[in-house]
Amino acid sequence: MADDKNKSQEMKETLDDLDARVSAAREANKPKKARGLNEATAYGIATRLVAELVAGIVVGVLIGWYLDQLFDTKPWLMIIMVMLGAAAGITNVMRASKQLAPEDTNNEDDEK
């Protein structure tokens, strides 16, 4: 009977040890929180920001060209509208980049 108790105690210790090792292995294999951006995401973001800028300029060119044709003021309205389109594109890029920035950034002053 004492021999059965010793075997059962050894089995329990072995199972507890196995459980601890399995838990440690599962914890080690959990996906880690991603730091920064991966390459595909960074490419997508860069493409979006360039598209925002180019779209503003193209819209400015098209509106300026149309207004120049309408009012016969070549090239002045196109020049003005290209500048306004570039300003709008830059504003859109700044707005989009603020939305993409991580909210929990640490400043050097915060750590002191």
Query: At 5, is the pLDDT very low, low, confident or very high (cuts 50, 70, 90)?
Result: confident
Per-residue pLDDT, averaged over 20-35, amounts to: 82
- Full-model pTM: 0.58
Query: At 94, is the pLDDT very low, low, confident or very high (cuts 50, 70, 90)?
Result: very high
Cβ contacts of 54 within 8 Å, gap of 6 or more: 89
Alpha carbon distance 6, 8 (integer Å):
5
Domains of the chain, by residue range, sit at 37-102
Cα radius of gyration rounded to whole Å, the chain: 32
Query: At 92, is the pLDDT very low, low, confident or very high (cuts 50, 70, 90)?
Result: very high
pLDDT digits (tens, 9 = 90+) for 45-67: 889 999 999 999 999 999 999 99
